[in-house]
Amino acid sequence: MEAAVKNIFYKFFFTLGEFITDGVDGLGRISIFTGRFFYWAIRPPFRFRLLFEQLYFIGNRSLFIIILSGAFTGMVLAYQTYFGFKLINVDTLVGPVVAISLSKELAPVLGGLILAGRCGAAMAAQIGTMKVTEQIDALEVMGINSIQYLAIPRIIATTFALPMLSIIFLLVGGVGAFVIGTKTLLIDEALFYSKLGEFMFLEDMYQGIIKAFFFGFVISVIGTYFGFQVRQGAEGVGKGTNFAVVWGMISVLVLDYFLTSFLIKVL
Amino acid sequence: MDEIAISFKNVSKAFKDHVVIDNLNFEVKTGKITTILGFSGAGKSTLLKLVLGLISPTSGVVQVLGRGLNSLSKVQLREFRRNFGMLFQYAALFDSLTAYENVAFPLKEFTALNKSQRDAKIQGLFESVGLDSKAAQKYPSELSGGMRKRVGLARALALNPAIILYDEPTTGLDPITTKMVNELIVSTANKTKGLTSLIISHDVRATLEISDYVAFLNRGKIVEYLSADEFRNSNNPLVQEFVNL
């Protein structure tokens, strides 16, 4: 009995130790990868064609899902807020509450989660497939830095595309909330506008844009990093893609907390 | 006396405690086809990576075209790699690019050729590896294994390398495609004066047909290094075992 308990304790601490060392090891590796990004990002050759290709893929090709998500998020939020606020007779505040929620939190966070799923996965899968089919080796043998060629355009493009997509998310969400608020819930249009002007400030938007900038960076670093880490064929590509999505999403949520607590004090 | 394109001087490579290359002394002659044979896990791929400078030796010096790779910085090493062309086992073509774009890729990256000059060069390369213009517009997934090898070879030759490396060029191919790839290796070597070819393989029959020299790598050491004819008649029991498999 005593031996069995000892065994359980041993297993528990062994697993815990392994989890911690793996985590520290992973963090170290991703930090080195990020360092390499900064080192190579400022060194020629600068491949603008690749950057624009990625901006098109990450920005333009994500527009549909961002607009769709933004519109429905705004509409749902308007509904939920309205019925809560009506109980205490402040239903005219639906506009600013929805707009502030969208600009500070929902647009960057949901936009980040969407991009982690769509683009983080694509990055890990593309780079991972190139890794297992020796295409990355082919680049290196030609004398081309694979991080500079594959990771840098993707990371820069995502870092700048996500803030833009967040703004679109916010605008579309705002329109959705306005339509539902004024046409379905019959809030007075003039009141909707005036309350928005009274409670919503430009600083609220800055907070969301700054967050989106960091989320974009983190999602793309994670996506490309797990792509380069892929081993063992198709199974490895699947694992890498899975890790890229899961850790991309977790990072967005965790980083959101720390950024919020920091930005609230600064802005 | 033959010039030396690649030399290993007391080279060892270990990954943690596992020694993969063990105090290797070995030279590859300029303008010749040299093949390194060996069982799986003998250290052939590690040797290839050492030649390319993709990994550094734990001890010893790898010299290529008279330059010690350990004396080159990372940036210099990248530039130096343009002296190499490499045909990968599965060609490693960029799957998002057509055959034409794959061959054009190194030319766009590293030369100042304009479009018409580039087109002329690519056409010449395609002809030299026996590809027609129809294949040029196809993506790698639309090409057969043999065609992919041809495109890979055309890409490897695009920058007029001094040394061409072949990683298991005939592994997994049918006999007819194997014959075609072997002929391609020989014709490429014959067409390009001074081109050094280094082949990593475990295909004994193909190797003995096309190589000038054959080395046998076992547990990180070259145990036999002879001309192809001499190699065939080697008394080394390991070589005999491998040749007669």
Residue B133: its pLDDT value, please?
Answer: 85
Q: Which of A138, A140, A144 sits opposite B109 (nearest CB)?
A: A144
| Chain B contact set for A142 (CB, 8 A) | 81-82, 105-106, 109-110, 159
* Spans in chain B with pLDDT lower than 70: 1
Which residues contact residue A184 at a Cβ distance below 8 angstroms, ignoring those fewer than 6 apart?
none
Asked if omega into A108 is within 30° of 0 (cis), the reply is no
Residue, of B16 and A144, whose pLDDT is higher: A144
- Give a three-class secondary structure readout of chain A: CHHHHHHHHHHHHHHHHHHHHHHHHHHHHHHHHHHHHHHHHCCCCCCHHHHHHHHHHHCHHHHHHHHHHHHHHHHHHHHHHHHHHHCCCCHHHHHHHHHHHHHHHHHHHHHHHHHHHHHHHHHHHHHHHHHHCCHHHHHHHCCCCHHHHHHHHHHHHHHHHHHHHHHHHHHHHHHHHHHHHHHHCCCCHHHHHHHHHHHCCHHHHHHHHHHHHHHHHHHHHHHHHHHHCCCCHHHHHHHHHHHHHHHHHHHHHHHHHHHHHHHHHHC
ipTM for the complex? 0.90
User: What does the buried/exposed string (b/e) look like for A8-42 if buried means 16 or more CB atoms within 10 Å of the residue's CB?
Assistant: eeeeeeeeeeeeeeeeeeeeeebeebbebbeeeee
Mean pLDDT (chain A, rounded): 94
Other beta carbons less than 10 A from residue A100's beta carbon? 20
Interface test with A, best of B51, B95, B143 (most A CBs within 10 A): B95
Q: What angle do CA B240, B241, B242 make, to 5 degrees?
A: 90
Partners of A129 on chain B (C-beta within 8 Å) are 95
**pLDDT score at A259:** 97
Phi and psi at A189, nearest 5°, equal -60, -45
Tens-place pLDDT, residues A111-133: 999 999 999 999 999 999 999 99
Give yes or no for B3 touching A (CB within 8 A).
Answer: no
| Contact B139/A at CB under 8 A | no
Whether residue A217 has pLDDT greater than 60: yes
Asked if A135 lies within 8 A of B84 by C-beta distance, the reply is no
Distance from CA of A138 to the nearest CA of B (A): 6
Contact B15, B173 (CB under 8 A): no
pLDDT, average across residues A139-157: 96
How many CB atoms are closer than 10 A to CB B30? 16
Q: Which residue of B has its CA nearest to A143?
A: B78
| DSSP annotation of B174 | -
The answer to whether B109 faces chain A, any CB pair under 8 Å, is yes
Contacting residues of B for A143, CB less than 8 Å apart:
78-82, 110
Closest-CA distance, A238 to chain B, in angstroms, reads 18
Residues of A contacting chain B (CB within 8 angstroms): 129-130, 133-135, 137-138, 140-145
Predicted local confidence at residue B1, as pLDDT: 56
A6, pLDDT greater than 60: yes
pLDDT band at A1 (very low <50, low <70, confident <90, very high): low
Residues of A whose CB is below 8 A from B80: 143
Q: CB atoms < 10 A from the CB of B208, how many?
A: 16
Token pair for A130: 């190139």
The larger pLDDT score, comparing residue A200 to residue B2, is at: A200
Question: Which residue of B86, B139, B143, B168 is the best one to mutate when testing the A interface, meaning the one whose CB has the most A CBs within 10 A?
Answer: B86
B62 touches chain A (CB under 8 A): no
Q: Does B166 touch chain A (CB under 8 A)?
A: no
Band of the pLDDT at A43, cuts 50, 70, 90? very high
